[in-house]
Structures are given as structure tokens and as C-alpha cells.
Amino acid sequence: MQSRFPLGPDLIIEMVHAAPHEITLVPVGPLTNIALAVEKDPTIVPLVKEVIIMGGSITGGNVNASAEAISTTTPKPHRLSFRRMAADMVGLDVGDKTLLSPNISNNLGRLTGRSTISSIRWRTI
């Protein structure tokens, strides 16, 4: 049975071609969908505005002392394909200690339609 909705890699390809140089990819898990999109249509690489990854760390990983989840859960062939794209990495040590003002936290809640955002640990200043 075919889905009415495009799968992750196809959606990435579709959106990037529809808005070249405007799409920022912010994966919050394994990079498989981006890698599959690049493998399927390498022409998207120069059309993506930027890629920002939350992962890596200079202070240690969240899987073991030296590895974090994204680098260990993305299959090796996909990691190799993904390397065709430049990406900015925001380390776990940065994201884990980010402080949000009540105003920013409330705005994020309004944008997501939630009064509180429970999926992320928020600390306010």
C-alpha cells in the first residue's frame, strides 16, 4: 500500500527543489533520511541552505564516554554519503546547558501549540 505522504528522503528532495537555498535541515536523530536523499538526488547538496546537527561533544557522549547517539545510530554507508554536505554541529555539551528566558520558552510553547514543552528539558533564567 502506497502512502499519501512522501517518505523522509523524498520529502527532503521535494522541499529543497521547491525552495532552493532556503531550506535548513535540523536533524534530531540519525542522519539516514538526509543521506538517503543525497544518494537518491545528489543535486540537492548545493541547494540546501545549511545543515545544523545536535550531536558530538567535547566533554563525552550520551551512549558511552566517547560516542553520542547520532554518530552511533546512523549506519556507516549513510554517514559516508552524508559527508558530501557541509554541516554545523552543536555539541551535546552546548545544548544540555542552554538557558532560555521565560519569554523565549513561552514563545516556543506558543509556536508549538503547547503550554509546556515536556519533550525537552528546559531551564529558564
CA angle (7, 13, 14) in 5-degree steps: 85
Distance CA 48, CA 84 (A): 12
103 and 52 in a common domain: no
- Give the pairing of strands 88-90 and 50-54: parallel
109 and 65 in a common domain: no
The whole domain housing 104 covers: 97-125
- Helices and strands counted in the chain (H then E): 6, 3
Name residue, grid cell 554536505: 85
- 1 lies in some domain: no
54 and 102 in a common domain: no
| Domains of the chain: total | 2
76 and 24 in a common domain: yes
Distance CA 72, CA 66 (A): 10
98 HSE (CA, 13 A, CB side): 14
Question: How much is the pTM?
Answer: 0.64
CB 68 within 8 A of CB 94: no
- 3 lies in some domain: no
pLDDT tens per residue across span 103-124: 777 777 777 666 554 444 444 3
CB 53 within 8 A of CB 89: yes
* DSSP, res 74: S
108 and 76 in a common domain: no
81 and 61 in a common domain: yes
81 and 120 in a common domain: no
32 and 68 in a common domain: yes
pLDDT tens per residue across span 60-91: 666 666 566 666 666 665 565 666 777 777 77
